[in-house]
Amino acid sequence: MMPEQFLTSVHLVAMLSFHLLRADELSRNHSYPLPKLAAYHKNWQNSDKTTTNSSRQ
């Protein structure tokens, strides 16, 4: 695995966990529409197949 790919994977995981934490926080505090957010994440992952596949194991 190339160092750049590894860093991209780490960055992706960090970003995803941050967004999921924020979503959880928002949903608890302000009843944020989570299905909408989930759909957004799905579309976002599909648009970036190469890095998502290498980081998802």
Predicted local distance difference test score (pLDDT) of residue 57: 42
Q: Which two tokens stand for residue 38?
A: 């989930």
> At 14, is the secondary structure helix, strand, or coil?
helix
In single-letter form, the type of residue at position 52 comes to: T
> At 56, is the secondary structure helix, strand, or coil?
coil
Please answer whether residues 8 and 50 qualify as being in contact, where contact means their C-beta atoms are separated by less than 8 angstroms. Answer: no
Taking CA atoms, 12 is separated from 38, 45, 50, in Å, by: 16, 10, 12
Per-residue pLDDT of 4-16, as tens digits, reads: 888 888 888 888 8
Per-residue pLDDT of 21-57, as tens digits, reads: 777 766 666 555 566 666 766 776 676 555 544 444 4
Question: What sign does the CA torsion over 39, 44, 49, 51 have?
Answer: negative
